Chains A and B, each alone.
Chain A
Amino acid sequence: MVIGGGLLALLIVLALAAPLYAGDPVDLDPFKRLQPPSPEMWFGSDNLGRDVFARTVFGARISLMVGFVTAASAALSGLLIGVVAGYNRCLDGIVMRVMDGLMSIPTILLAMALVSLTGPGIGILIIAITIPEIPSVARLVRSAVLGVRHRPYVEAALCGGSRLPKVLWRHILPSTIAPLLVQSANVCAAAILTEASLSFLGAGVPTEIPSWGNMISSSRLYLPIAPLTVFAPGIFLALTVLAVNLLGDGLRDLFDPRSTRRH
């Protein structure tokens, strides 16, 4: 978990500080196409003469932002839906059927279809990636709520006269935090991968904005002669998702009293 968290923090700092040290990611220079790494362009240049290093680092900002915002939105929505479903028996049936239906449609296809309906744009993209991720969070929260709902302390609180919102907030909610956090990490990793895949397929971030996915897509024809244009974003993508996954695993081990921890 420490490795994951540390790596992620490093990547975030790199991404945020990008304008300070990297070159211009969109500046074309057709005379400098497909150059190998040099002191000015650390990763070389791509087929339009753009600085690959700058684009990679700027791409980090997009991917990380999409990942975090998606994770946060999915977490909040899933929390809301999960708590409602877990607490209220009547709504539970309908809500869970809807969630099941949503889960049956593959994320990528659903996200692509949503994007194609409304046109390109980061906001739409985030919504399109968030929606398919909500059911898994909702299910998790719902089972946590179901596990706690009948506990004596909840009954006691209700008998004592506490109003429902207060009971939900103070007694039920804390039991949902741990699985919610772990699942949010998973959602973040999945969101980053989905955004990259969508951009790779051309249905994600608009092409002017550098994203790891569309970098790989536009550079793939040049794989034999300029492999770094494909591998630089690829490796960064892998490292980022790995960092988030490790963080999530660490969180899970932290919260699970039964796991074999090596201290």
Chain B
Amino acid sequence: MATYILRRIVSTIAVMAMVGVFVFLLLRLAPGDPAAIIAGDAATPQMIAGIRESLGLSDPLPVQFVRWVLSILGGDFGTSILTGRPVLQLISQRLEPTVSLAISTMILSVTFGMIFGILAAWRVGGLVDHLLTAFAALGFSVPVFVVGYFLIYWFAMIVHLLPVQGYIPIDRGLGAWLVHLILPTMTLSVPFIAFIARITRASMLEVLSEDYIRTAVAKGASSYSILFRHALKNASVPILTVIGISFAYLIAGVVITEAVFNIPGVGRLVVDAINNRDYPIIQGVLILVSGLYVFINLAVDLAYTLVDPRIRY
């Protein structure tokens, strides 16, 4: 067990190293001089040279890389080119809206996704199953911003029930925070509910056809007991995998949802940074996000052992 954890952690570090190399190379991949790109179109040669000096771009690449890695490990993600403020500070300021959206979306998606999936598997072939499968196919195909504008149109513009856009920080009122979160969360949850429902249904169907389920039914166990005590635990492995993988899509979805609903979160920060060519911010966000993804997958792998005792490496 301990060796398993150790090996997973080592491979995680290897993957993060890979990510670091990619992110680092991103700026240097551009055709042309990185310093000139950062300086922009209206730069004088002195400005370009100045930028090159301050960012240490004249040093050989491995030296730059090592220096960059060391500064990241020390907590210094660089300073924004546009505003001059430390990248880490900029990111942490925008963290609350993004985290609120992400967590509420995950909670909603996992809950409803699993419920729908279990329902569909339980009544397989029936109307509920067909409806849910159709919803899953559609939900996965519609892009997030289309769902967003659709919901905005009906719930905010026609009915005036919910605010059109914007975000209220939690310390300015729990009710307002919740109300402003409802539409964005619903929007972002749709593809995830579809995805999770699908996997849950498939996994449950596989488990429900096993012999021990037949035994439980023959013994007269209640549906509740069969579904939750016997089937779900064994069906959980693929579901957990999917939850881990969907985190990557969550990031993409958050970026779009923040753009649609005008939420001042990390997604908007990075989109603006990309438009402004503010590379330190782009690098910082990419590293943090990828790190989070890798960490969550590590947690998912470790969670496997909790759910299914047969999995011991």
Contact = CB atoms under 8 A, between A and B. Distances in A.
Contacts of A13: none
B146 A216 contact: yes
B306 interface: no
A117 B37 contact: yes
Contacts of B170: none
Contacts of B137: 242, 245-246, 249
Given A106-B252, A109-B289, A241-B141, A201 B259 contact: yes
Contact of A230 (B17, B21, B149, B256): B149
A123 interface: no
A116 interface: yes
Contacts of B152: 223
B141 A223 contact: no
B131 interface: no
A87 interface: no
A220 B19 contact: no
Q: Name the residue in A105, A107, A118, A234 with the highest tally of chain B Cβ atoms < 10 Å from its Cβ.
A: A105
Interface residues of B, number: 49
Interface in A165-224: 189, 193, 196-197, 200-203, 216, 220, 223-224
Interface residues on A, range: 35 or more
Interface stretch (A40-48, A77-85, A94-102, A147-155): A94-102
Nearest to B144: A197
Contacts of B274: 109, 112-113, 116, 203
A104 B297 CA distance: 10
Interface string B276-290: 010000100110011
Contacts of A237: 142-143, 146
25 contacts: A100-B18, A101-B18, A104-B18, A104-B19, A105-B286, A105-B289, A109-B251, A109-B270, A112-B271, A113-B282, A114-B29, A117-B29, A197-B144, A197-B252, A197-B256, A201-B255, A202-B275, A203-B271, A220-B149, A223-B149, A223-B157, A224-B153, A231-B149, A231-B153, A238-B146
Interface of A: 97-98, 100-110, 112-114, 116-118, 189, 193, 196-197, 200-203, 216, 220, 223-224, 227, 230-231, 234-235, 237-238, 241-242, 244-246, 249
